């Protein structure tokens, strides 16, 4: 609520804010609840940004998503293309709500001189993720599925064809980049935080990497009755590389292995 958000800002009086609050979920949760995603996230974003403005916060870094980009577009997508057309129909509520952060940031900059900006990560994963199979994102959901398939000795069923392609960013790498944006990045325009285009992997390849990390020897089955969602969302990290040409991302398989090890060690208490 706006009153609770305002009270939080008044109590802590932050000078800098990383805004991660959101209603989030995977493909199938979005398909079921587009209106809920729109309404909840519009309220959250307006409450946070307005409270930050009223309490004199020096800088806010909000978190967008590559799903905000137009469904019909050319690739790779970049920061200039956010508002060039409708997003994919599967998650239009979340996508439009996230786009509005960019609109608000520009408004607060032009009207009030505020240093509010946003980052656009690709698919984030890592320890402490939401590993819920129904409502979580694809990679943590697959990790949980592999765990259960290994326990029961059954096949691993992957929803969809396995052909869609994604750029995955390890949460620990993203955290380092967030701190850099908070301290050093002074543009109002968003910046994509992503591994390079060459590091894009298919859902099949991601499932195989998880199976290898968790030493799963069973069969992989693809349930093609389930939706694939958007085929690809290939993003350019050229702008990031202009700022940080030497930044080293954790290799995908190493990050998957560390995430799977965390999930195995913390299964009882992990969000699932």
DSSP element (H, E) containing 210:
helix 203-213
Least confident of 115-119, 135-139, 191-195: 135-139
With beta carbons less than 8 A apart as the criterion, state whether 31 and 90 touch: yes
Q: What's the pLDDT at 67?
A: 86
Residues belonging to the active site: 94
Q: What's the pLDDT at 153?
A: 86
State the average pLDDT for the chain. 93
Contacts of 60 (CB under 8 A, 6+ apart): 16, 17, 18, 19, 48, 49, 52, 105, 114, 115, 116, 117
Q: What's the pLDDT at 230?
A: 75
259: exposed, middle or buried (Cβ count in 10 Å: 0-12, 13-18, 19+): buried
pLDDT tens digits, 211-238: 999 999 888 889 998 877 778 889 999 9
Structural domains of the chain, ranges and CATH numbers in brackets: 2-265 (3.40.50.720)
End-to-end alpha-carbon separation of the chain, Å? 26
pLDDT tens digits, 21-33: 998 877 778 788 8
pLDDT tens digits, 6-21: 999 999 999 999 999 9
Contacts of 151 (CB under 8 A, 6+ apart): none
């Amino acid at each position: 609520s706006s009153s609770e958000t305002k009270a939080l800002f008044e109590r802590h009086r932050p000078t800098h804010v990383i805004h991660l609050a959101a209603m989030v979920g995977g493909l199938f949760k979005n398909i079921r609840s587009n209106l809920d995603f729109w309404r909840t996230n519009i309220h959250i974003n307006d409450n946070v940004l307005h409270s930050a403005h009223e309490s004199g916060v020096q800088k806010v870094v909000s978190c967008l998503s590559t799903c905000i980009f137009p469904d019909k577009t050319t690739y790779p997508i970049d920061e200039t293309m956010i508002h060039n057309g409708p997003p994919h129909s599967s998650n239009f509520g979340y996508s439009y709500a996230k786009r509005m952060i960019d609109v608000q940031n520009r408004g607060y900059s032009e009207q009030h001189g505020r240093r509010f900006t946003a980052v656009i990560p690709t698919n984030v994963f890592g320890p402490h993720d939401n590993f819920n199979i129904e409502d979580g994102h694809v990679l943590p959901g697959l990790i949980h599925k592999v765990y259960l398939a290994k326990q029961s000795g059954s096949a691993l069923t992957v929803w969809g064809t396995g052909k869609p392609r994604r750029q995955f960013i390890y949460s620990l790498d993203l955290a380092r980049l967030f701190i850099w944006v908070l301290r050093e990045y002074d543009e109002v325009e968003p910046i994509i935080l992503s591994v390079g285009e060459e590091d894009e992997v298919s859902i099949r390849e991601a499932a195989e990497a998880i199976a290898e990390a968790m030493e799963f020897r069973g069969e992989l089955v693809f349930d093609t009755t389930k939706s694939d969602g958007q085929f690809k969302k290939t993003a350019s990290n050229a702008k990031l590389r202009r700022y940080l040409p030497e930044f080293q991302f954790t290799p995908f398989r190493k990050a998957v292995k560390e995430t799977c090890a965390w999930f195995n060690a913390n299964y009882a208490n992990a969000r699932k």
